[in-house]
Amino acid sequence: MKRALVLSAVLLPICTPPAFGQAPVLSITALCKARSADARILRSTTGQSLANCEHDEEAAKQQLNTLWASTSVTIRNRCRSEARSLGTTSYLDLVTCIQMADEIKADSKKKTSKE
């Protein structure tokens, strides 16, 4: 039951569309607790304390807030959808997805300009 509450706290903000043009708002504490609970259930180690997880997610949140407005709606929606399909969304997941999309776009432009 406790796990269900934590997961709903993590997933609820994902299901609620953010205000136009604003990055999603996630519960960092709930996300990190859910990761820790999952690691305990799987009897694996996250390799990261709750405090470190929260620190990393907070840093990623700041980075995402910078990237979000300059990222196309198509990429934002794709990244949100991909993260949601994994079962949880984190700021780190979203930042990584956007960065990868930017790299692919840059590589594509380089190949086009060489031809």
24, with CB counted inside 10 A (0-12, 13-18, 19+), is buried
Residue 67 is predicted with a pLDDT of: 94
pLDDT in tens, the chain (115 residues): 556 554 555 555 444 444 457 899 999 999 999 888 888 888 776 567 889 999 999 999 999 999 999 999 999 999 999 988 877 789 999 999 999 998 888 877 777 766 6
Residue 14 is predicted with a pLDDT of: 47
3-state secondary structure of 47: coil
pTM of the predicted structure, to 2 decimals: 0.72
Residue 37 is predicted with a pLDDT of: 85
Please report which residue ranges of the chain form alpha helices under DSSP H.
2-15, 28-41, 50-68, 73-85, 91-114
Residue 10 is predicted with a pLDDT of: 52
Q: Which residue has the tokens 């620190």?
A: 55
Domain count, the chain: 1
CA 94/CA 82 separation, integer angstroms: 9
- Contact between 11 and 40 (Cβ < 8 Å): no
**Which of 63, 72, 66, 61 shows the shortest CA–CA distance to 31?**
61
Q: How far is CA 69 from the centre of its chain?
A: 16
Residue type, 61: K
Q: Which domain holds residue 65?
A: 2-114
40, with CB counted inside 10 A (0-12, 13-18, 19+), is exposed
